[in-house]
Structure 1
């Protein structure tokens, strides 16, 4: 047993080592040729950061727009390729770049010394400033960094602002991955202020009269006062092409034009219009999110049931090796968070091939569900009296026939409630795939919150949609459970 366990650990460590990206993968620079050969420039961004990148309706479709997206389009046009935008959480962007899921990061990112150790940056294309956001009613109380001494302050995870906030004396930080969550925390008095990049803070304040922002007197290095585009270390030809395009943008003073276009999109829907006709404006976002959530859940349930049934038979097998493999899989899956599994599959696969985020999410949720369904089915089969199996064998039935016609039908009545609970759980847990940019319901809610500058109303609508899905499924499952009990 000990030798088998050691062999399993050694195999696991080897697999992890092979999946971890290393610098040698990108040692030879052919980055620009690679992008031009595939005909696509895939960029990563976080679409909750107006006026740099945010969602708006363009020609009846949801699109990410903003100054950064105009810059990215100019770069793609200069390279003669199509621009592909992948939206994900800000703190997932650098892992996605290192895992080869994207070609570059265009997200108003500041080229700090810490980030330069992991990625290569272009020239700075926009000199920015850092602001403090407070509630409008508190603008007479908080007017400087010093005035926030000892207060609870919000920052976006893995951002420059997280480092700057530490300059506030005796500060207590709240770190969240999404700017809209920070705004909501501020409006509900969970925090007293937010440290934000200046243009983003101004955009929110101009669209919400309950907010007030002012420039913070932070101590900044020169390299921390601008935005740049991030690429992998060693991809010098791609960086040179990006810098050439950025040079043209700066020479032609296109930044102001791009900012003006972003402002037009932001002003396209007034606060009054959004309040009066919220569902009429954003219902398609929720509908698209519900469709993807149902798609992920249905496929994951079907795959998970097949995988779970196979694993349960393996765990009940007499062969030690088969039992050990199935048990190891189940214990490992149940012992690690689903979010880590999703990110590991998506980013790990990106080292070797381009696995779509939706596919990676379905695979992760299916593998996770299979482990739990395995234990549900195994428990149900063990609950059937052993005399049933002995009676079937005495009648000349094979093992397969006994399982198919005698044991499993009886076990199904016992495991159906637990299976139903797993189905409902999958609908809710599928929201985790939003961290890699899958457009399910939670992801679409984030888009609506960014586009509407509203925090609570989109969450309420999403909560009602989830309740509708789970309540409907519960009624369907209860119907079939009643049929089985009646039979």
Structure 2
């Protein structure tokens, strides 16, 4: 027990090394939140383009680029996308590592959010769309006022799960020397030459966050189910 206490003190109390974890935690949450918002924005646009093409045959060119985007992003590792964003796209631009990471993770998330929202749109009975059209609404008006509100309600839990997945994916931000939670733990390890305590602490923090968000998602699912009755 005394050995654990000494290790805890050495890794976190001495020289206030716990600040590395706190700063990393803040950056992790900020990256995740901003990236999810970007992902929802991109995913919403991509989903509407693809659904419009599927249902009407319009937006053929945009649908081609949407499919290309989905293929590239979903077919390559997120860590490579992060490295390309930092060392290639923003190589000659003076932007922060945090901004670069947010953009990279946001673009990555958008591909998965697009499929989530598209599945939500496809889950709506076609009769809803036909009813809207029969009332004199255009396709875009029907999509905006009838289909999308129901689709978003159906996929809210899935979007919550995407947030949890992205929260864990941001742990690769250290590849561009961005101090996220994992990198903060690794900095402590490099200073104390003790890997167990800082890495286990980082893992516990991730676990606690995931459990909390999972419970919030389950509550949301229950409320949505109850609202349908």
What is the TM-score with the length of structure 2 in the denominator? 0.88
* Aligned partner (choices 361, 366, 369) of residue 106 of structure 2: 366
Does residue 398 in structure 1 map to residue 138 in structure 2?
yes
Which structure dedicates a bigger proportion of its chain to strand? Answer: 1
Distance 1:385 1:346, change over 3 A: same
8 Å contact kept, 1:388–1:406: yes
Alpha-carbon shift at residue 350 of structure 1 (Å) = 4.6
Q: Identify the residue that residue 336 of structure 1 maps to in structure 2.
A: 76
| Rounded Cα–Cα distance in structure 2 between residues aligned with 1:411 and 1:470 | 25
8 Å contact kept, 1:349–1:355: no
Q: Identify the residue that residue 40 of structure 2 maps to in structure 1.
A: 305
Q: Identify the residue that residue 158 of structure 2 maps to in structure 1.
A: 418
* Aligned partner (choices 156, 167, 170) of residue 427 of structure 1: 167
Runs of 4+ with deviation above 6 angstroms: none
Q: Identify the residue that residue 295 of structure 1 maps to in structure 2.
A: 30
8 Å contact kept, 1:296–1:362: yes
8 Å contact kept, 2:7–2:197: no
Does residue 386 in structure 1 map to residue 113 in structure 2?
no
What is the TM-score with the length of structure 1 in the denominator? 0.43
Alpha-carbon shift at residue 290 of structure 1 (Å) = 0.7
User: Alignment partner of 2:194: what SS?
Assistant: coil
Q: How does 1:63-74 map to 2 (within 5 A)?
A: none
| Rounded Cα–Cα distance in structure 2 between residues aligned with 1:380 and 1:373 | 10
* Aligned partner (choices 59, 62, 65) of residue 325 of structure 1: 65
User: Alignment partner of 1:403: what SS?
Assistant: helix
Deviations 1:178-220 (A, max 9, x none): xxxxxxxxxxxxxxxxxxxxxxxxxxxxxxxxxxxxxxxxxxx
8 Å contact kept, 1:307–1:370: yes
Using CA pairs under 8 Å that are at least 6 residues apart, name the structure with larger relative contact order, 1 or 2.
2
Flag structure 1 segments of 5+ consecutive residues without an equivalent.
1-270
8 Å contact kept, 1:449–1:458: yes
| Rounded Cα–Cα distance in structure 2 between residues aligned with 1:417 and 1:331 | 24
| Rounded Cα–Cα distance in structure 2 between residues aligned with 1:403 and 1:468 | 39
**What count of residue pairs does the alignment treat as equivalent?**
217
Deviations 1:80-139 (A, max 9, x none): xxxxxxxxxxxxxxxxxxxxxxxxxxxxxxxxxxxxxxxxxxxxxxxxxxxxxxxxxxxx
* Aligned partner (choices 174, 198, 220) of residue 480 of structure 1: 220
Which structure dedicates a bigger proportion of its chain to helix? Answer: 2
Alpha-carbon shift at residue 313 of structure 1 (Å) = 1.1
Deviations 1:371-430 (A, max 9, x none): 111011111101111111001121223334322332122222432232222110000001
Larger Rg: 1
8 Å contact kept, 1:300–1:363: yes
Distance 1:374 1:350, change over 3 A: closer
Does residue 275 in structure 1 map to residue 7 in structure 2?
yes
Q: How does 1:11-30 map to 2 (within 5 A)?
A: none
Distance 1:350 1:401, change over 3 A: closer
Distance 1:378 1:276, change over 3 A: closer
